[in-house]
Amino acid sequence: MFLVRPHEGYTWLALGKPGKKFTLQSAVIIASDFKGKVIEKYSDGTFIIQFDLNSQEVIEKANQYGEVPVPPYIKKIPKDSDYQTIYAKYLGSVAAPTAGFHLTKKILARLKENGVTILEITLHVGIGTFMPIKTETIESHSMHSEWVNVPDDVAETISLAQQNNRRIIAIGTTTVRTLEGVAALHNGKLKGYQGDVNLFITPGFQFNIIDAMLTNFHLPKSTLIVLVSSFAGREKILHAYQEAVKHTYRFYSFGDAMLII
């Protein structure tokens, strides 16, 4: 079980496995000084845990007793620094944006030397990253909201770059969801914004901000593979995956990446 994000007051939205073991009023005992109870349960496998601790105390206990939450295909729990981008700053994301794993300080410096403007935004990856599409149609899938922050000066710089016909390249699907999600709230225009977005990008979506993206190869039946297919086209993505398999590229979090233009 891992905690996902604060909910309201002393409660937290969580994802547990096996989920059937968690019933209403079930005690959740993580350690002798770290206990809670289930007060709500949802059909998607999530539930609400109530602790007698404030948010900071819960975070401290989670860091003391917990491990870095990683996808199930990663068998060896990595160190915090091994499952993190070099530009991470703020606490709140349940997982690292793995496209950023490909960037080093040296690479970022070289990009700047070549005239690339690097801008930083924030998206706290939420439970949606771990939830595969289980509905018969993608339109029926419910997307969880995630908290984002696009500073005013960043929005202004990106808008000016668009006016000057400069390409906006997103590092990862998290960046795509943030920029396009905020723009969707403002009739396709990017503005400074802090708050939740729950944009589910599906085929037919009109991209208003990004021109290209760097991303890893994603799991089947995930919202992420739907996103990249919506951007590049399903046939092109299938071809890219066939090439990846042919040349034994590595998939998922620590795998190879592709630049989609």
The average pLDDT across 27-37 equals 92
Helix (H) or strand (E) segment spanning residue 107: helix 105-113
Kindly calculate the radius of gyration of the chain based on its CA atoms and give it in whole angstroms. Answer: 19
Judged against a pLDDT cut of 60, whether residue 16 lies above it is answered with: yes
Reduced to 3 states (helix: H, G, I; strand: E, B; else coil), residue 53 is: coil
Domains of the chain: 2-65 (2.40.10.240), 83-260 (3.40.1780.10)
Weakest mean pLDDT among 59-63, 94-98, 242-246: 94-98
d(CA 93, CA 230): 25
Weakest mean pLDDT among 54-63, 122-131, 179-188, 238-247: 122-131
Judged against a pLDDT cut of 90, whether residue 150 lies above it is answered with: yes
Count the neighbouring beta carbons within 10 Å of the beta carbon of residue 174.
Answer: 26
The average pLDDT across 178-188 equals 96
d(CA 22, CA 46): 10
Closest listed residue to residue 199, CA positions, set 217, 216, 218, 182 = 182
